[in-house]
Amino acid sequence: MNSSLRNKYFLITYAMLLTLAADQITKFWVTATFRLEESMAVVPKFFSITLKHNPGAAFGMFRGKPLYFFLVISVIAIAFILYFVIKVNPRHRRLATALAMILGGALGNISDRLLSGAVVDFLDVRFYGTVWPTFNVADMAIVVGVLIFMWEMIRRDPFGLDQPAEPDAETAATQSDDPIEGAPAKAPAPQRWVPAR
């Protein structure tokens, strides 16, 4: 594995673990501090922390569906993301980061379902009387990741699969300035010694 691929997988792993850690730490704090349905206003009439258990999908969608439905959907989504994690060009760091955020958010919510059968939500936003469904850090990471993903899809070739990756240091050191790509550097011709007359 060359250095560009190592850097790609390091970036994706780091961003995924950071997202997962932020999600799980905040959920642990909320469940240890609040009782179910207990609420605390942070910005009155706009933002509160309200502990809720969401048996549905993100933002309360698909309520009433059985647990295995969400587990199957989550596994399919994770497999889909992992496929493109492997395919993404190492140069496209924003796209790799977006996929890592989506993957970390998906893992955060699926771990809740496996442990308790429901997702822990606690971010409660209200705007001019409109109450937004309660959500969590994993939901935010998924939404932001999807937005970056869509932006990258619009502004460049999908995933940059047709774009060559930048050569690593070892490969670049062996390449020459010869017009023929990849041709080895030509050694200078040895000078002949001519005796003086």
> Which of these is catalytic: 23, 112, 124, 139?
139
Task: Say which DSSP state 178 is in.
Answer: -
Q: Using DSSP, how many helices (H) and how many strands (E) does the chain show?
A: 5, 4
Give CA separation, 133 vs 54, 62, 162, 190, in Å: 10, 13, 40, 77
Q: Which of 121, 124, 162, 177 is catalytic?
A: 121
121 catalytically annotated: yes
Tell me the CB-side half-sphere exposure of residue 13, using CA atoms within 13 A.
Answer: 6
- What are 54's strand-pairing partners? 119
Are 111 and 76 in contact by the 8 Å Cβ rule? The answer is no
Those residues whose C-beta lies under 8 Å from the C-beta of residue 83, and which sit 6 or more positions away, are none
124 is catalytic: no
Positions marked catalytic: 121, 139
